Amino acid sequence: MTHSDKTRANRRLVPKLFLFSIAMFGFGYLLVPLYDVICDITGFNGRTTSLAVATEGNANGVDTSRTVTVEFVSSLNSGAPWEFRPTVTRMQVHPGEFYEISYVATNLTDQDMVGQAVPSVAPSLAAVHFQKIECFCFDRQDFAPGESKDMPVMFRVDPRLADHVSVVTLSYTFFKLDPSS
Amino acid sequence: MAATTHDVHDGHGEHHHGPAKGLGRWLFTTNHKDIGTLYLLFSLLMFLIGGSMALIIRAELFQPGLQLVDPHFFNQMTTMHALIMVFGAVMPAFVGLANWMLPMMIGAPDMALPRMNNWSFWILPFAFTMLLSTLFMPGGGPASGWTLYPPLVLQTGDAFPFVILAIHLMGISSIMGAINVIATIFNMRAPGMTLMRMPLFVWTWLITAFLLIAVMPVFAGAVTMLLTDKYFATSFFNPAGGGDPVLFQHIFWFFGHPEVYIMILPAFGVVSQIIPTFARKPLFGYHSMVYATAAIAFLSFIVWGHHMFTVGMPLTAELFFMYATMLIAVPTGVKVFNWVATMWRGAMTFETPMLFSIAFVILFTIGGFSGLMLAIAPADFQYHDTYFVVAHFHYVLVPGAVFSIMAAVYYWLPKWTGHMYNERLSRIHFWLSVIGVNILFFPQHFLGLAGMPRRVPDYALQFTEWNMVSSIGAFIYGISQLLFVYIVIQTIRAGDKATDQVWEGARGLEWTVPSPAPYHTFDTPPKISATNAHG
Amino acid sequence: MLYTRCLVRFTAIFTSGLLLLWSMAAVAESGWLQLNMPRGVTSVSREVYDLHMLILWICVAIGVVVFGVMFYSMYFHRKSRGVEPAKFHESTKVEVVWTLIPLFILVGMAIPATKTLIKMEDIGDTEMTVKITGYQWRWHYEYLGKDIGFFSSMSTPREQVYNLAEKNPDYILEVDNPLVLPVDTRIRLLTTAADVIHSWWVPELGWKRDAIPGFINDNWTLIEEPGIYRGVCAELCGRDHAYMPIVLHAVSKEEFAEWVQQQQQPSTALSAAD
């Protein structure tokens, strides 16, 4: 290879390498939606998906021969001056049937507050088989000073839930949000 | 073609007949040897700074209780020590070796992109000045560990954007350096230097460079997400906005695992040059060495999950990451066996580069064993985030990567300076290092297994004894590196005249040029045959 | 030669120093023998321990063979012994052998590891659930359905941390309110966190699990022996990461029932969500 050949070869190769590294920067960002998709399919991180409406309904029927224990827990992220707890802590359910429970959130301060409850299910593999219809109140919420809100959740456990899972936990963590954002 | 190169080369080289004078030589140099020297000196400086931080850590851990530093400062020290050693000491040292040696090993006059080479070096002093200056900012420097896990890292004070910017600069520098290496190896080889005739150091660097351009940008993406999460209300990792802090760990380790191979593959290359020289016997299994390196590089992309077994992954994911990680033992084993087979029935002598290389093989293998233990997911639930992990990765990085750099410096220093180093002092340096490093890190296995977590400034009383031993080892190892600095200075200034061949058993193009290597080498490409290519 | 003499002298000083340390240790009866993982008090922790020892010994055996060959070669194949270097530099047969043998050894390791992992991940039927929440820098325990919840903070006085007072035997491993659990009961442990990621680890149970804000993780344990077991936060969580210990009192089922009743007295019932 002569020197000018080398220069030409470099001119061809180097932009490709730069493009490749820029593409890999993009790939880093692509991992974000990719992760969400994988989580939605496998329940990888215990995040649940909310049903918009109960259209699927009882297509799979109610399995009355089986009982699953569902536990309800609540957590407050630090710096969230709320009281937040479920009205029921534990119940026995039949897979396929819809049940309703609720959480109560109370603003303990004398100021306007914005907060949001974020769900998670354990074991994480049960997350895809835990279907719920949440009240809109699980979106971002404004709380007047001292205001208390009842937050109902309708849910059912899919009969396809693996046999060895006998307890499922639904957890909500309450976060304080920045009012400006 | 040989005749044409000279004329064309005048295009970029007013200092073709020798280096410019004064500071300007170093600021504006495009010469691969000058830039290699700059990288190596920079790396040595960072090694000493990062090492001083390690000594602060070990001094605090000499006894239970808080004696010297505040826990928050301690956390800054562990974080900075890691960032500086990884990005400031080990990686630039290998880039420095690549700059010096790759063109000489493949018969090229210089790196493919000399100007970019200058930029990629001169970014580093700015990046690290900025990183170090964060220690003096309100709230102190980063204190979340080099893994920068959110949400903890988002509690960093004013230093946060500067840390991210410094990481971006280091990343850009590494990427430019890697692109230069790839272009040099692909386009600048002397006629007859086919890929499968390249010395193994060139091969391992080629694969390392591809790892770099593949994963450094991913890391840049991850820290950019942290930045926007903190200042621009995105919620990549914020559960309140639908994000997931574990996602950061996935992205980080997708970068992080190849990153650890970026720090060890060139070390494999160095040792594969040195052992044949002092065994006076060609490297055993050259082809399988190349394939094993490529296999390790490939596997490094699919094992990241083993850093995060405890986050609560589904069984299938745990099994996948466990099996894939265990598989890495196969190509790594092939390499170790090949080195031993190279030594087998050779005629060995044990000059300092060989001593460091042998220590590398043994101690890196011990680090490999603990790596295999960590791969076993059920046992990792116990080992994870303890001093056992600290012992593991320091065994592969200190007597692994750092020893290989020491070996490389002693091996090539006579070629660089034209002077022999002081063999007696360098052996004392070796023995102090190898004894110090084992006193320093071996007891950390015990500490971890007995239950001491990592990244703590204080510990329960049953860990007192071994921590004390470990700290003593740290000071032996740390202080003996000053001897290394002295040896290098002494070699540059005085030292016996080195021959061109330097080592009796050395083969390869770099030994065909005079010692010290002239400012410009291989302006006329050498003729390569099957016998004078790799060792 | 001078350097050899130097080295010999250094080694001598060094070994005598080490010996001195060792004899001091014998007198002090201290942490010198804390070398290995505890076997623990659950079937899982014992399986993990056995797995750990199995792989450790396999590694030691491989190490003895490889390093043995290496040292043999370093002794007998030295230039100073006047040997001529051999010329060989490859052998496909040998390469295949030392690729396949490690592969078989790995399969041998993977089988028991997989079995243990499956057992650990199978939560199955549990009799009670405790939710563990990590805070900077203390733990909160909530016994689901029992209306018991409390914070557990380190009780070691700061004077001991700053070396102003003599340290307790359980220095920085003691808390105000320990976690009390019954033995012989399959217990589900949920972990989450309120601020940053923590990791709940009691070595005697055989595992640790991250506590991640906004997400809930589950795990199980069945403690077989009553006793006091101590653990720590294993994930860097900020300034006082070293100072959020875990103390677990494993008691008989009867004692546990008694304890639960005590806790449920109105005066001691703490709000779970404060």
Task: Give the model confidence (pLDDT) of A91-147 as tens digits.
Answer: 999 988 888 898 998 988 888 888 888 888 888 888 888 888 776 667 778 888 888
Question: Using CA of residue B451, residue B455, residue B477, residue B267, what is the dihedral sign?
Answer: positive
Mean pLDDT, residues B353-377 taken together: 96
Question: Superfamily for A68-176?
Answer: Ctag/Cox11 (2.60.370.10)
User: Are A39 and B244 an interchain contact pair (Cβ–Cβ within 8 Å)?
Assistant: yes
Query: Where is pLDDT greater, at C152 or C145?
Result: C152
Instruction: Name residues 129-148 of chain B within 8 A of C (Cβ).
Output: 143-145
What is the reported pLDDT for B15?
44
The shortest CB-CB distance from A14 to any of B5, B113, B317 is to B113
User: Are B247 and A21 an interchain contact pair (Cβ–Cβ within 8 Å)?
Assistant: no
Q: What confidence tens digit (pLDDT) does each residue in B12-21 have?
A: 444 456 777 8
> A114 at the B interface (CB within 8 A)?
no
Distant-in-sequence, close-in-space partners of C265: CB < 8 Å, separation ≥ 6: none
Residues from chain B contacting residue C241 (CB–CB below 8 Å): 71, 75, 453, 455-456
Closest CA to B99 of B242, B232, B247, B266: B266
Instruction: Name residues 129-158 of chain C within 8 A of B (Cβ).
Output: none
DSSP string over B481-506:
HHHHHHHHHHHHHS-PBPPSS-STT-
Domain boundaries, chain B: 34-136+154-189, 199-343, 350-530
Q: Is the peptide bond before C137 cis (omega within 30 degrees of 0)?
A: yes
Mean pLDDT, residues B33-39 taken together: 95
- CA–CA min distance B215, chain A (Å): 7
Is residue C70 a contact partner of residue B343, using CB atoms and an 8 Å limit?
Answer: yes
- CA–CA min distance B214, chain A (Å): 6
Closest CA to C79 of B279, B341, B281: B279
Mean pLDDT, residues C149-154 taken together: 94
Residues from chain A contacting residue B5 (CB–CB below 8 Å): 2-3
Distant-in-sequence, close-in-space partners of C141: CB < 8 Å, separation ≥ 6: C130, C131, C132, C133, C148, C149, C150, C152, C177, C179
Domain boundaries, chain A: 1-42, 68-176
Q: Torsions phi, psi of B423, nearest 5? A: -65, -35
Distant-in-sequence, close-in-space partners of C97: CB < 8 Å, separation ≥ 6: none
d(CA C60, CA C52): 12
Domain B350-530 architecture: Up-down Bundle (1.20)
Mean pLDDT, residues B516-529 taken together: 88
- Start-to-end Cα distance in chain B: 27
User: Are A169 and C218 an interchain contact pair (Cβ–Cβ within 8 Å)?
Assistant: yes
What is the reported pLDDT for A136?
62
- CA–CA min distance B364, chain C (Å): 12
Residue B512 C-beta-side C-alpha neighbours within 13 Å:
16
Mean pLDDT, residues C203-215 taken together: 94
What is the reported pLDDT for A51?
56
* DSSP type of residue A50: B
User: Are C144 and A121 an interchain contact pair (Cβ–Cβ within 8 Å)?
Assistant: no
Residues from chain A contacting residue C123 (CB–CB below 8 Å): 123, 164-165, 167
What is the reported pLDDT for B416?
95
B382: pLDDT strictly greater than 90 = yes
Structure tokens at B516: 């010290």
Closest CA to A143 of A82, A59, A52: A82
| Lowest mean pLDDT segment, chosen from A10-14, C25-29, C123-127 | C25-29
Instruction: Name residues 253-312 of chain B within 8 A of A (Cβ).
Output: 254, 312
d(CA A113, CA C131): 27
For strand C198-202 and strand C227-233, is the pairing parallel, antiparallel, or unpaired?
Answer: antiparallel
User: Are B179 and A14 an interchain contact pair (Cβ–Cβ within 8 Å)?
Assistant: yes
- CA–CA min distance B511, chain A (Å): 23
> C20 at the B interface (CB within 8 A)?
no
What is the reported pLDDT for B87?
96
- CA–CA min distance A61, chain B (Å): 28
Report CA-CA distances (Å) from C141 to A166, B120, C190, C192, C259: 22, 52, 10, 11, 15
Structure tokens at B521: 């080498």
Is residue A141 a contact partner of residue A169, using CB atoms and an 8 Å limit?
Answer: no
Mean pLDDT, residues A25-48 taken together: 82
Q: What confidence tens digit (pLDDT) does each residue in B202-261 have?
A: 999 999 999 999 999 999 999 999 999 999 988 899 888 888 999 999 999 999 999 999
Q: What confidence tens digit (pLDDT) does each residue in B154-174 have?
A: 999 899 999 999 999 999 999
C34-79+91-122 CATH pick, 1.10.287.90, 1.10.150.120, 3.40.50.300, 3.60.15.10: 1.10.287.90
d(CA A156, CA A66): 13
AA identity, residue C268: T
Q: Torsions phi, psi of B144, nearest 5? A: -105, 15
- CA–CA min distance A70, chain C (Å): 11
Q: What confidence tens digit (pLDDT) does each residue in A6-22 have?
A: 788 888 999 999 999 99
CA dihedral B504, B509, B511, B517 (to 10 degrees): -170
C8: pLDDT strictly greater than 80 = no
Domain C128-264 architecture: Sandwich (2.60)
What is Dmax (Cα atoms) for chain B?
A: 73
Cα B427 to chain centroid, rounded: 23
Is residue A107 a contact partner of residue A160, using CB atoms and an 8 Å limit?
Answer: no
Report the run of H or E that residue C209 belongs to, with start and end: strand C207-211
Query: Which chains share 3+ C-beta pairs under 8 angstroms with B?
Result: A, C
Confidence label for B11 from pLDDT (cuts 50, 70 and 90) = very low
| Lowest mean pLDDT segment, chosen from A144-158, B323-337, C96-110 | A144-158
Is residue A179 a contact partner of residue A112, using CB atoms and an 8 Å limit?
Answer: yes
Report CA-CA distances (Å) from C185 to B230, C217, C231, C260: 44, 20, 20, 15
> A3 at the B interface (CB within 8 A)?
yes
Q: With 0-12 CB in 10 A as exposed, 13-18 as middle and 19+ as buried, what is B30?
A: middle
Interface test with C, best of A75, A130, A171, A175 (most C CBs within 10 A): A75
> B317 at the C interface (CB within 8 A)?
no
> B336 at the C interface (CB within 8 A)?
yes
User: Are C51 and B451 an interchain contact pair (Cβ–Cβ within 8 Å)?
Assistant: no
Number of neighbours of residue C195 by Cβ within 10 angstroms: 19
Distant-in-sequence, close-in-space partners of B493: CB < 8 Å, separation ≥ 6: none
What is the reported pLDDT for B7?
40
Structure tokens at A68: 């699953």
Number of neighbours of residue C35 by Cβ within 10 angstroms: 13
Q: What confidence tens digit (pLDDT) does each residue in A29-40 have?
A: 999 998 888 877
Is residue B433 a contact partner of residue C141, using CB atoms and an 8 Å limit?
Answer: no
AA identity, residue B287: H
A44: pLDDT strictly greater than 90 = no
A60: pLDDT strictly greater than 70 = no
Interface test with A, best of B110, B208, B213, B252 (most A CBs within 10 A): B213
DSSP string over B43-85:
HHHHHHHHHHHHHHHHHHTTSSS--SS-HHHHHHHHHHHHHII
> B523 at the A interface (CB within 8 A)?
no
Query: Where is pLDDT greater, at C9 or B444?
Result: B444
The shortest CB-CB distance from B4 to any of A2, A27, A45 is to A2
> B97 at the A interface (CB within 8 A)?
no
Structure tokens at B428: 């004392």
Residues from chain A contacting residue C214 (CB–CB below 8 Å): 77, 118, 120, 173, 175
Between A and C, how many CB-CB pairs are < 8 A? 75
Is residue B89 a contact partner of residue B404, using CB atoms and an 8 Å limit?
Answer: no
Identify the closest residue of chain B to A10 by CA–CA distance.
B183
Is residue A166 a contact partner of residue C125, using CB atoms and an 8 Å limit?
Answer: yes
> A73 at the B interface (CB within 8 A)?
no
Residues from chain C contacting residue B286 (CB–CB below 8 Å): 89-90
Within B418-506, strands assigned E span none
Query: Where is pLDDT greater, at C14 or B65?
Result: B65
Residues from chain C contacting residue B326 (CB–CB below 8 Å): 106, 109-110
Report the run of H or E that residue B9 belongs to, with start and end: helix B2-9
The shortest CB-CB distance from C196 to any of B151, B280, B446 is to B151
d(CA C133, CA B329): 38
**What's chain B's average pLDDT?**
92
Structure tokens at B460: 């329960």
Query: Where is pLDDT greater, at B469 or A179?
Result: B469
Is residue B167 a contact partner of residue B221, using CB atoms and an 8 Å limit?
Answer: no
Q: What confidence tens digit (pLDDT) does each residue in B54-89 have?
A: 999 999 999 999 999 999 999 999 999 999 999 999
Instruction: Name residues 172-201 of chain B within 8 A of A (Cβ).
Output: 175, 179, 182-183, 186-188, 191
User: Are C216 and A84 an interchain contact pair (Cβ–Cβ within 8 Å)?
Assistant: no
Residues from chain C contacting residue B460 (CB–CB below 8 Å): 170-173, 230
Is residue B105 a contact partner of residue B22, using CB atoms and an 8 Å limit?
Answer: no
Residue B424 φ/ψ region, left for φ over 0, alpha for ψ in the -120 to 50 degree band, beta for the rest: alpha
B99: pLDDT strictly greater than 50 = yes
d(CA B274, CA A180): 62
- CA–CA min distance B43, chain A (Å): 25
* DSSP type of residue B345: T
Domain boundaries, chain C: 34-79+91-122, 128-264
